[in-house]
Structure 1
Amino acid sequence: MRTVLVIESSISGKAGKSSQLVAQFLTKLPADVQLDRIDLASQPLPHLEMNEIAAWMTPEADRSLEQAALARHSDDLIARIHQADAIVLGVPMYNFGVPSQLKALFDRVARAGVTFKYTEQGPVGLLSDKPVVVFATRGGIYQGTNADSQTPFLQQFFNFIGLSEQYFIYAEGLNMGEEAAKAALEKAEQRIGELSRKLAA
């Protein structure tokens, strides 16, 4: 790996457990890896509106200055994904879903004809596959239950745009007492060591 795109979505910023696990993972990567960071707490994206979609659909040469500025949100994000050799995300669970800031980013990454296309056989992702590492932190225990809407959503989203090499590291039960939180973080840290060695190989 030469470049890693890091996307953090905790509203707690660096104090968030997902951000802290991301930071630990990054320390395990080779020293020459370049990091491209997106912190959605300090630089949140607005929710997607129709005028921005209209800007995408307008040929670049015909865009107004306002449309060019609107389209740049999506164009820049997609360019950064193309340039990255791997993507690392910190994803806390808020009310059973992903943070709305992260959903706003996803809405700008999924673009017909750019990151996916529809065919007679169904949708096909257009991005070159690369590792996607998700650090999922939760106050309760949700992995493998019907209440975990995050995991299938993230899996489906990344598969939809062509990114099928996915790794999930969970830290759950973080609000269920000190011992439960400690055990969850220790388990996640062990998984970090295993995965970082695998990806660096």
Structure 2
Amino acid sequence: MTQTVLHIDSSARLSGSVSRDLTAQVVERLGAKEVIRRDLATPLPLLDEAWIGANFTPADQRSDDQKATLALSDALVAELERVDTVVIGAPVYNFTVPTTLKAWIDLVARVGKTFQYTEAGPEGLLKDKRAIVVIASGGTEAGSDIDYASRYLQHMLGFIGITDIELVAADQQALDAEGSVQKAKDAIAQLAA
């Protein structure tokens, strides 16, 4: 049974959002004891030179300013470390994820915290976690050659160690909105709690 869920929404639409509606249904289906909510409608800061400098300074050598610069990133990583399931709502904007979700990824993909480099290549450090990614699109078919959103999320989650990934797709809504959303709801009903 799912104990703790990190529920992330990234749609710019606060009402009428298919991905938000579906992630809420996923979280309800999981019946978690605790849900940590992260709504990216309020954008996270983008990486800048100060952040890069702080991140690549060894932790024991960081100034107070550098620690403050990384505080939000540290908190986002701590959220990931704490949960056993991550639910991500990702509408497809221009064939990929919204910039707000990309900003979250940039802040949590941290060498030495969520991944490390080994002689065998990169190794994700967030193991034994599950991710359920809800994709909503107007015209892009999930898994197609032009779907850079779900493939990117699967790659990045795997890169940080989350390899148990399930995709719920309400894709190609421009062709059949009702059928697309129903297909996603049917997939949610089949999810293991």
SS in 2 for 1:175: helix
Give 1:26 shift.
1.9
**Number of positions where the alignment pairs a residue of Structure 1 with one of Structure 2:** 192
Q: Percent identity?
A: 40
Amino acid at match of 1:40: L
TM-score, structure 1 normalization: 0.89
Unaligned 5+ runs, structure 2: none
Give 1:151 shift.
2.0
Partner residue, 2:111:
112
The verdict on how the C-alpha distance between 1:24 and 1:109 changes in structure 2, with shifts beyond 3 A counting, is same
Amino acid at match of 2:56: M
Partner residue, 1:191:
187
How far apart in 2 are the matches of 1:133 and 1:60? Answer: 32
Amino acid at match of 2:188: I
How far apart in 2 are the matches of 1:26 and 1:114? Answer: 26
Q: Are residues 1:83 and 2:79 paired?
A: no
Any residues of structure 2 matched to 1:118-157 within 5 Å, and which? 118-157=117-156
Unaligned 5+ runs, structure 1: none
Partner residue, 1:33:
33
How far apart in 2 are the matches of 1:19 and 1:52? Answer: 30
How far apart in 1 are the matches of 2:102 and 2:94? Answer: 14
Task: String of CA shifts for 1:8-58, please: whole Å, max 9, x gaps.
Answer: 00000243110010111222232x5211000000x2112111211212233
How far apart in 1 are the matches of 2:169 and 2:96? Answer: 14
Give 1:82 shift.
0.5
- Residues 143, 151 of structure 2: 8 Å contact kept: no
The verdict on how the C-alpha distance between 1:132 and 1:80 changes in structure 2, with shifts beyond 3 A counting, is same
Task: String of CA shifts for 1:95-133, please: whole Å, max 9, x gaps.
Answer: 011000100110111111111111121111111221100
How far apart in 2 are the matches of 1:61 and 1:14? Answer: 44
Partner residue, 1:96:
95
Amino acid at match of 1:70: T
Q: Are residues 1:172 and 2:168 paired?
A: no
Q: Which moved more, 1:55-64 or 1:103-112?
A: 55-64
- Residues 140, 146 of structure 2: 8 Å contact kept: no
Give 1:174 shift.
1.7
How far apart in 1 are the matches of 2:143 and 2:168? Answer: 13
Amino acid at match of 1:191: A
